[in-house]
Amino acid sequence: MESLYLLVPLSVALVFGALWLFFKAADDGQFDDLEGPALRILQDDD
């Protein structure tokens, strides 16, 4: 029971940290063009 006093706040902090990183990446435009790099590798460089 005493370990839950440490693990519950730690897991909540981890979830908020992951959400913050996700929204920070989304605001910076990390997920704007998901198809471009996948199609760019298929094109020839003539």
pLDDT score at 38: 82
Q: What type of residue is 30?
A: Q
pLDDT tens, 3-46?
999 999 999 999 999 999 999 999 998 888 888 888 888 887 76
Query: Counting runs of H as helices and runs of E as strands, what totals does the chain give?
Result: 2, 0
Q: What type of residue is 1?
A: M
pLDDT score at 46: 65
Q: What type of residue is 35?
A: E
pLDDT score at 19: 98
Under a CB-based contact definition with an 8 Å cutoff, are residues 34 and 40 in contact? no
